[in-house]
Structure 1
Amino acid sequence: MGPPWAWRPVAAIAALLSVILLALSPGYGYHRDELYFRVLSEHPAWGYVDQPPMTPMLARAGIALFGDTVTGIRVFPALAAALLVVLVALIARELGGGRAAQVMAAAGTATGAYTLIAGHTLLTVSFDLPLWAAAILFVLRALSRERPRWWLAAGAVVGLATYNKHLIALLVLGLAAGLLLAGPRRSLASPWSWGGALLAAVVAAPNVVYQVVNGWPQLTMAAALSADEGAEMRVLFVPMQLVLFGPVVSVIAVFGFVRLWRDRRVRAPAVAYPVAAVVTLVAGGRFDYTGGLILLLFAAGCVGVVEAARTRLAGVSLAVGAAGSGVLALPLVPVAELAGTPVPAINEVARESVGWPAFTAAVTGVRDSLPPAERARAVVVTGSYGEHGALRLAGVPRVYSGHNELWHHGPPPADGGTAILVNVGPRGRALFGSCEERARVDNGVGLENEEQGMPVHLCRGLRQPWATIWPMWRHFS
Structure 2
Amino acid sequence: MTRPAVAAFAVRPVMTVALVVGAVLTALSGRYGYHRDELYFMVAGRHLSWGYVDQPPLTPFIARVSTAVFGDTVMGLRVLSTLSTVATIVVVALIAREFGSERRGQILAAICAAVSGFVLGVGHLVSTATYDLLAWMLIGLFAVKLLRTGDGRWWLALGLTAGIALENKYLVVLPIGALLVALLIVGPRGVLRSWWLLAGVAVAGLIALPNVLWQFQHDWPQLKVAGGISEDDGTENRIMFVPLQILQLSPFLVPVWIAGFRRIWVGLPWARAVALAYPVLCVIVLAAGGKSYYALPLLLVLVAAGCEPTLRWIDRHRAAAVVGLVLTALTSAVFTLPVLPASAADFVIPVNKEQGEQIGWPAFTASVAAAWDRIPADERSTATLFTGNYGEAGALVRYGPAHGLPAPYSAHMSFWDWARPPDTNTGPVLLVELERTPIFESYFRDCEQVGTIDSIVSNDEDGTALVLCAGPSEAWSTLWPKVRQFY
TM-score normalised by the chain length of structure 2: 0.94
Query: Which residue of structure 2 lines up, in the alignment, with residue 361 of structure 1?
Result: 366
User: CA separation of 1:178/1:314 partners in 2, compared to 1, >3 Å: closer, same or farther?
Assistant: farther
The Cα of 1:414 is off from its aligned counterpart by: 1.5
1:158-210 alpha-carbon deviations (Å, 9 max, x no partner): 11100110000001111101100010011111222222222212222222222
Checking the alignment, whether the CA contact within 8 Å between 1:162 and 1:168 is kept in structure 2 is yes
Find the aligned partners of 2:222 and 2:316 in 1 and give their Cα distance: 45
Match runs of 1:277-426 below 5 Å: 277-307=282-312, 309=315, 312=318, 313-339=320-346, 341=347, 343-394=348-399, 395=401, 396-417=405-426, 418-423=428-433, 425-426=437-438
CA distance in 2, matches of 1:412, 1:203: 36
> Aligned letter for 1:362?
S
Preserved CA contact (<8 Å) 1:345 1:351:
no
Cα deviations by residue, 1:102-149 (Å, 9 ceiling, x for unpaired): 111111111111111111111111100011101110111111122221
CA distance in 2, matches of 1:286, 1:333: 26
Counterpart contact for 2:150–2:191, Cα < 8 Å? no
1:222-261 paired onto structure 2 within 5 Å: 222-261=226-265
Per the TM alignment, residue 64 of structure 1 is displaced from its structure 2 partner at its CA by 0.5
Distance 1:379 1:260, change over 3 A: same
CA contact (8 A) 1:398 1:412 kept: no
Moved more, 374-383 or 133-142: 374-383
Query: Residue 280 of structure 1 aligns to which amino acid in structure 2?
Result: V
Within-5 A mapping of 1:107-186: 107-186=111-190
Query: Which amino acid in the other structure matches residue 281 of structure 1?
Result: L
Aligned-partner residue type, residue 330 of structure 2: A
Asked if structure 1 preserves the Cα contact closer than 8 Å seen for 2:120 and 2:333, the reply is yes
SS in 2 for 1:346: coil
Q: Is the 8 A contact 2:278 2:299 kept in 1?
A: yes
Whether 1:74 and 2:83 are equivalent positions in the alignment is no
The amino acid of 1:301's aligned partner reads: G
- Shift in Å at residue 462 of structure 1? 2.3
1:22 counterpart residue number: 26
Distance 1:226 1:380 in 2: 30
| Percent of matched pairs sharing the same residue | 41
Letter of the 1:454 partner, please give it: T
1:434 aligns with 2:439: no
Between 1:75-84 and 1:242-251, the stretch displaced more is: 242-251
Matched, 1:11 2:20: no
Give 1:314 deviation, angstroms: 4.0
Per the alignment, residue 467 of structure 1 pairs with 477
Please tell me whether residue 64 in structure 1 is matched to residue 73 in structure 2: no
Q: Where does structure 1 lack aligned partners over 5 or more consecutive residues?
A: none
How far apart in 1 are the matches of 2:316 and 2:90? Answer: 22
1:281 and 1:414 map into 2 onto residues whose CA distance is 45
SS in 1 for 2:38: helix
Q: Distance in 2 between matches of 1:93 and 1:166?
A: 28
User: How large is the RMSD of aligned CA atoms in angstroms?
Assistant: 1.4
What is the CA-CA distance between 1:387 and the residue it aligns to?
0.3
**Contact kept in structure 1, 2:8 and 2:102, CA below 8 Å:** yes
Contact 1:254 1:301 in 2 (8 A): yes
TM-score, structure 1 length as denominator?
0.96
Residue correspondences, number: 473
Deviation at 1:416, TM superposition (A): 2.0
Q: Hey, what's the Cα distance between the residues in 1 that align with 2:84 and 2:218? A: 30
Greater Cα shift, 211-220 or 10-19 = 211-220
Unaligned runs of 5+ in 2: none
Deviations along 1:376-433, whole A, 9 cap, x unmatched? 3211111110000000001232311111111112321112221100116222322222
Q: 1:96 aligns to what?
A: 100
In the TM superposition, residue 350 of structure 1 has moved relative to its aligned partner by 0.2
Whole-angstrom CA distance in 1 between matches of 2:81 and 2:133: 11
Please report how far the alpha carbon of residue 258 of structure 1 lies from its aligned counterpart in structure 2 after TM superposition: 1.1
Moved more, 39-48 or 355-364: 355-364
How far apart, in 2, do the equivalents of 1:251 and 1:310 lie? 15
* Amino acid in the other structure paired with 1:372: A
* Preserved CA contact (<8 Å) 1:35 1:390: yes
1-structure distance, mates of 2:339, 2:388: 31
Aligned to 2:59: 55
Amino acid at match of 1:348: K
Distance 1:256 1:432 in 2: 58
- For 2:264 and 2:202, the matched residues in 1 are separated by 28
Task: Give CA deviations for 1:238-273 in whole Å, capped at 9, x if unaligned.
Answer: 000101110122221111111111222111111110
Is 1:453–2:483 an aligned residue pair? no
Letter in 2 for 1:407: W
**Contact 1:144–1:265, Cα closer than 8 Å, also in 2:** yes
Query: In terms of mean alpha carbon deviation, does 211-220 or 358-367 score higher?
Result: 211-220
Output the CA distance in 2 between the equivalents of 1:205 and 1:461. 43
Structure 2 residue identity aligned to 1:422: V
How far has the Cα of 1:27 moved from its partner?
1.7
Is the CA contact (8 Å cut-off) linking 2:447 and 2:469 kept in structure 1?
yes
2:311 maps to amino acid: V
Task: Give yes or no for contact 2:139–2:162 (8 Å, CA) kept in 1.
Answer: yes
What SS does the aligned partner of 1:345 have?
Answer: coil
1:31-42, aligned counterparts within 5 Å? 31-42=35-46
Q: What's the CA shift for 1:315?
A: 4.6
